[in-house]
Structure 1
Amino acid sequence: MRDELIDIFKAGLARAEPAAAVSAALSDVSRPNAILALGKAALAMTEPARDAFPDVPCLAVTNAENARDLAGVHVMIGGHPVPDDGSLAAGEAMLTAAAQARRRILALISGGGSALAVAPVAAVTLADKAEVSRLLLGAGLDIGAMNLVRQNLSRLKGGGLARAAGPGGIEALILSDVVGDDPAAIASGPTVPPLGPPAAAKDLLVRHGLWDRMPESCRMALSRPPPPTTPEGRLRLIGSNRLSVLAMAAAAPDATVASDPLEGDVADAAARVATAARAGPGTTLWGGETTVILRGDGRGGRNQELALRVACALRDIGRPWTFLSGGTDGRDGPTDAAGAVVDDGTLDRIAAAGHDVAAGLARNDSYPMLAAAGDLLITGGTGTNVADLQILRMG
């Protein structure tokens, strides 16, 4: 069952292959003055666009793992998941290129762009931005909430790239890494209006008890008036979590596609998977993106922790089962695993290796336990990102 589930997962990955998705969309794209790509899939998206418009300047910003030399393309590397000096340089370069092109920009947007390119508003430093990212990630906020805050601390996010380009200046091809495919949440929406004004970001932080922990410069920035109106552009979704789930369903025609994505805290998501497991034999498919509240200093990621919690929830179900949870970018948290494939023998293998599952989960230390069980899902960097995919097979 493990190999079958991995093959189904790979079908979902194939539907999110960036170069093929961009190539299919280019027949309806006019010659741009500049090609600007941002995200983990930036280079894979840029290559067919560069081939279609070989004399057009290209700037691509991506993470170190997906970076490579690409003829005719200025490649820049930013930090992920926490922005670094490379992110700062990339953000300024993106804004400068948009201002110089002045309209007719082809923007290629994929997941990960929120950290890869940053351009903080006045008085907010890169260290401040990094601290904000740390606080938001540690609080278990969903991607929409995190992006609302990020947008209002940035000159690039929340439509900043479109404002730099001017009216009618942006045509964007988007590979969505967020559930629901809201373009304002993908890479923090550099080509579309923000999710909300600074006051909304402040209210969110207050509700979650984070306001007083934010750097002073960020509290000042979130107390300012909203930015100017964002010019409208043309946006097209060329890949998404939902489309990848449907591709998995085509590869497993007898499977059931869950009506709702797996979102929210990993413990709640594991309980939903366990409910599906009790319905009887068969295969169930999900997409989505869960969250983890960090309570310890262990090593792991949301997919690994979800898989381990599912193993605990199905401990006594009395039938054979296998569950896969993987990130489509190939990286689950700060690890080399995409996620995990667990089954009815996982907990026994972990115990035999001398690990205490309950203690490990309490400190968010799923990776070493899954490694000991031989249950890590290792794909390497995929060059794409459309959130997470999950598969349950009940015998």
Structure 2
Amino acid sequence: MARVLSLIRPQPFLALLGRRKMSLDFRAREVFAAAVEAVQPDIAIRQSLERQGDSVVVVGGSGGRKFTLRNNVHVVGFGKAVLGMATEAERILGDHLVGGVISVPHGIQQTLRQHGKHHLLLKERSCIQVMEGAQHNLPDADSQKAAECIARLASALTEKDLLLVLISGGGSALLPTPISPITLQEKLDVTRKLAAAGATIQELNTVRRALSVLKGGGLAQCAHPAQVVALILSDVIGDPLDLIASGPTVRGPVCREEVLAVLEQYGLLDSAPASVKEVLGRLRPYQETETEEEGHVLNVVIGSNSVALQHASRRALELGFHPIVLSPGVCGDVRSVSRLYGLLARFACSCQENSSELAAEVLKLGLEVGVETGDLYRVMQSLDQARSQGRGATCVLAGGEPTVELSGEGRGGRNQELAMRVGLELRGFQPPLDSPVFLSGGTDGQDGPTEAAGAVTDASLYGNAQKQDLDVVSFLKNNDSFTFFSRLSGGRNLVVPGLTCTNVMDVHILLIPSSAKED
């Protein structure tokens, strides 16, 4: 964990560790570091791919599925974390790995070298070919070429082969293979217009599958009759296998009526390119759609927001907190999400007379931000018991991917803006020692177009901003959270881990000290 912690810990705290008790700020960063470390690509592979002797590999950890090794393993991969995944897979499989192709973001190998992440780079004489593409996270000619190489490799396999498929966030842009005669640009235009019109991720995926060779189970189909094992780092709420990188190893029915209905709903059917209409015309009608036998495919999620929260919970316990995991699926507008965390903090510290009113508001907000009512009841019950039984400090953990309504032109991201808004919600607690502390950070280490992953804050945010003549409301209106935190107290609130080499969405940490109380 040292390589992650050294980047997340603010240096001034390191010098103080031996002389005084760790601050809540520091402990929040420790918990976040544990979450990020748990979903590092090499660690995730190591925990899910185990050699037993020379001829057997176990997939999925203890009690997982066994596969025979006989110099018959090929690897393909696509995504932002795939290079590190492939490096560890090659180390584990050794000579049984006979070749492969991975599609990774443009410039990632040089970036890893610059950041000293040599353990995530393939050895010099690796049998795995690395192809970079998708500059600015958009499908391009380079990523299409890589996808075509992956398709050729998969199509040449036999029933004696094992295809290891490595998938992480960003994989969809790195695996573009439109069905002929559709061009890459035509496919991009269709999906962009759908997104701009407000299509859901499920609707976008329906159309992508219909227009793609490899998405929607196409890669698994190409590899048939070889055995296919997909190891997946999920960056999607709920870990739906058909949505992560558009589900290249998850076969689903694609029917003409469903795709046409989506295009018609958003007024794009008549204006669709002739090539798109031609491909859609080849699709089977709904009643004739058949789902192909998938016995040769094993999909395993090896890293997710839930995994990150589990490890964060263990670290919180080590640091003296009673950990409670709220949900890995927090979504919706950051204003509603920040209000929810503010209410939970107040509920945890309120007198019995006020708790019923606060609980009702918490339950109402939960529906807006993707948190199940049962989870809210469970967390509030635990907070109530902690308060009444004097359990001590509490750590509420959650994750997901909230959204920000852009109204300005400032620099920032959803995590920094969420932290700002939670800081405002915490006004009324007695700062700084008795105030709850909140941290929001992106596990990919980059929150919007900034060097920060997020920020940590408490009830002193508003008062400190006033002392420095920083208008919090104006910064929020301009979506300029990074500039705000950079100026506030010399930037010490920012969480800047650097390149994390992974991504399982965001982690939210609310630390409530046993002495917390409101004015």
User: TM-score, length-normalised on structure 1?
Assistant: 0.85
Other-structure match for 1:301: 413
Give me the whole-angstrom Cα distance separating, in 1, the residues matched to 2:269 and 2:450.
27
> Pick from 312, 317, 325: which aligns with 1:257?
325
- Structure 1: any 5+ residue segments left out of the alignment? none
- Aligned match of 1:216: 272
Partner of 1:238: 302
Q: Rate the CA distance shift 1:98–1:137 in 2: closer, same or farther, 3 A.
A: same
Q: Among 107, 122, 130, which residue is 1:70 paired with?
A: 122
TM-superposed CA distance for 1:176, in Å, is 1.9
Deviation string, structure 1 residues 209-230 (Cα, Å, up to 9, x no partner)? x555997339748955369745
Question: Identity across aligned pairs (percent)?
Answer: 36
Partner of residue 484 from structure 2, selected from 354, 369, 384 = 369
Q: Which residue of 2 aligns with 1:192?
A: 250
Change (3 A) 1:230 1:358: farther
Contact 1:95 1:164 (8 Å CA) reproduced: yes
Does residue 47 of structure 1 match 2:91?
no
Partner Cα separation in structure 2 for residue 220 and residue 125 of structure 1: 13
**Contact preservation (8 Å) 1:160, 1:230:** no
Deviations 1:233-292 (Å, cap 9, x if unpaired)? 112222221111111111112122115631223222222222212122532100222233
Q: Deviations along 1:296-340, whole A, 9 cap, x unmatched? A: 444332222322232333344555232111111212233322222
Counterpart for residue 14 of structure 1: 37
> What one-letter code is carried by the residue in structure 1 that aligns with 2:218?
G
Task: Give the CA deviation at 1:139.
Answer: 7.6
Aligned CA-pair RMSD: 3.3
- Please say which structure displays the higher CA radius of gyration: 2
Quickly say closer, same or farther: Cα 1:216–1:97, change in 2 above 3 A: same
Change over 3 Å in CA distance of 1:345–1:128 after alignment to 2: farther
> How far apart, CA to CA, are the structure 1 residues paired with 2:171 and 2:162?
21
2:94 is matched by which residue type in structure 1?
F
Q: Which runs of 5+ in 2 are unaligned?
A: 1-23, 51-56, 59-66, 111-120, 350-393
* Cross-structure match for 1:37: 77
Match in the other structure for 2:334: 266
Distance 2:504 2:196 in 1: 22
Q: Say yes or no: does 1:160 pair with 2:205.
A: no
Q: What letter is aligned with 1:49?
A: A
- In the alignment, is the contact (CA less than 8 A) between 1:128 and 1:215 conserved in 2? no
Q: How many residues align?
A: 393
Contact residue 340 and residue 377 of structure 1 kept, 8 A:
yes
SS at 2:173's partner residue? helix
Matched, 1:4 2:6: no
| Secondary structure of the corresponding residue to residue 238 of structure 2 | coil
Distance 1:370 1:198 in 2: 50
User: How far does the alpha carbon of each residue in 1:95-127 deviate from its partner, in whole angstroms, 9 at most, with x for none?
Assistant: 122112345211111222122221223455444
State the one-letter code of the partner of 1:81. Answer: N
Contact kept? 2:168, 2:232, Cα under 8 Å:
yes
Q: Which moved more, 1:362-371 or 1:138-147?
A: 138-147
Q: Given the alignment of the two structures, is residue 121 of structure 1 paired with residue 189 of structure 2, yes or no?
A: no
Amino acid at match of 1:376: L
Distance across 2 between alignment mates of 1:137 and 1:250: 39
User: What secondary structure sits across from 1:112 in the alignment?
Assistant: coil
Of stretches 43-52 and 275-284 in structure 1, the one that deviates more from structure 2 is 275-284
| 3-state secondary structure, aligned to 1:330 | coil
TM-score (norm 2): 0.66
1:370 deviates by: 2.7
**What is the identity, as a one-letter code, of the residue corresponding to 2:231?**
L
Separation (CA, whole Å) in 2 of partners of 1:130 and 1:354: 46
Instruction: Pick which of 114-123 and 291-300 moved more.
Output: 291-300
Q: Is 1:323 equivalent to 2:346 in the alignment? A: no
SS in 1 for 2:401: strand
Report the alpha carbon displacement of residue 363 of structure 1 after superposing the two structures with TM.
4.5
Alignment match of 1:247 (pick from 311, 318, 332): 311
Q: 1:283 aligns with which of 395, 403, 412?
A: 395
Q: How has the CA–CA distance of structure 1 residues 12 and 294 changed in structure 2, closer, same or farther, with 3 Å as cutoff?
A: same
Farther-moved stretch of structure 1 (367-376 vs 294-303): 294-303
Q: Which amino acid aligns with 2:131?
A: M
Is this contact kept in 1: 2:44–2:303, CA < 8 A?
yes
- Residue deviations 1:54-98 (CA, integer Å, cap 9, x gap): 351021222246435523121112325333333222222221221
Aligned match for 1:174, one of 210, 224, 232: 232
- In structure 2, the partner of 1:92 is 148
